[in-house]
Amino acid sequence: MSIQWFPGHMNAARKEAAKTMEVIDVIVEVLDARIPDASVNPLIEELRLVRQRPCLKVLNKADLADPAVTQAWLNLYNRQPDVSAVALSCSQAGDAAKIPQLCQALAPHRNSSVKPLRMLIMGIPNVGKSTLMNRLLNRRIARVGDEPAVTKVQQRHKLNDHMAITDSPGLLWGTIKDPNVGLLLATVNAVGHKVVDDETVAEFLAAILLARYPARLTARYGFAVEGLTSSDVLDAIAKKRGCLLTRSGGGLDRDKAARILLLDYRNGTLGRTSLETPEPSPDEPPQ
């Protein structure tokens, strides 16, 4: 299964980003800390390497991710040339305030009103770019929503007399060929919910939770998980929550159960969990 989801404005956004990159100093690439590798856009990497721009990788939503796994990702990224990485929550003003100085360290020669530091925020949809922008400017200038493709055009603003920052629309690549990457993106709502059905995404999520965080399922929904498959998990949630199809003699409403599981994961109700690690263990589902 490959995912093709490339709204028209994204093609324009790619061209605009390539042009803007000519006149900026540091790329601020916002990732989802729960899926750092899957939320890396290869187009962004390609563009920045062509222009030889350093990159600050921001593992956002770190408050929703497994701290130990997040640290492993930070260790990996901080070993890469011209890359620095930080884990934080852009919804916290104190966390967002760290970004400018971290960028300054990547371009110390740009630090005056004559040569201001020029930053460009990039990333896939729904990773928190607009939230970061609003926090940095301490006012609401970018619309925020728990859905992909909220920002449609670039927005440039001065932080002070020696720093400027540009926000850009969420940018995906045209075809997501790796099905696991597509499902990871769908799990955190980085692609439109109409692209992959909720039941498929929820079963994918359940498989990972069974392998890594089985106790979270038991604690949240009140059933034992021993011997269950990912499909069984949806059935069990449907039974526990009374999700029934009234038009089919009271059969289980698996779609509703899937939405319950996905919502609980996305809002952090299931606890701090990461869906991918730098090096998966042999007994975990392939990613």
pLDDT in tens, 216-231: 999 999 999 999 999 9
Q: Is the pLDDT of residue 270 over 50?
A: yes
Confirm if 142 and 167 have CB atoms less than 8 A apart.
yes
Residue ranges of domains in the chain, CATH in brackets: 3-167 (3.40.50.300), 197-266 (1.10.1580.10)
In this prediction, residue 145 carries a pLDDT of 47
| Residue bearing the bigger pLDDT, 14 or 137 | 137
pLDDT in tens, 66-96: 999 999 999 999 999 999 999 999 888 899 9
The one-character DSSP state at 179 is H
CB count in 10 Å sphere of residue 111: 13
The whole-model pTM stands at 0.86
Encoded tokens for 171: 């940018």
Mean of the pLDDT values across residues 151-167?
A: 81
CA–CA dist 238, 243 (Å, integer): 5
| Residue bearing the bigger pLDDT, 283 or 100 | 100
Rg (CA), the chain: 20
97, 134, 274 from 94: Cα distances, Å: 5, 13, 23
Mean of the pLDDT values across residues 119-130?
A: 90
Q: Is the pLDDT of residue 148 over 60?
A: no
In this prediction, residue 51 carries a pLDDT of 85
Whole-number mean pLDDT of the chain? 86
CA–CA dist 267, 99 (Å, integer): 24
| Residue bearing the bigger pLDDT, 188 or 10 | 188
Nearest to 39, CA basis, from 275, 281, 280: 275
Confidence of residue 171 (pLDDT cuts 50, 70, 90): confident
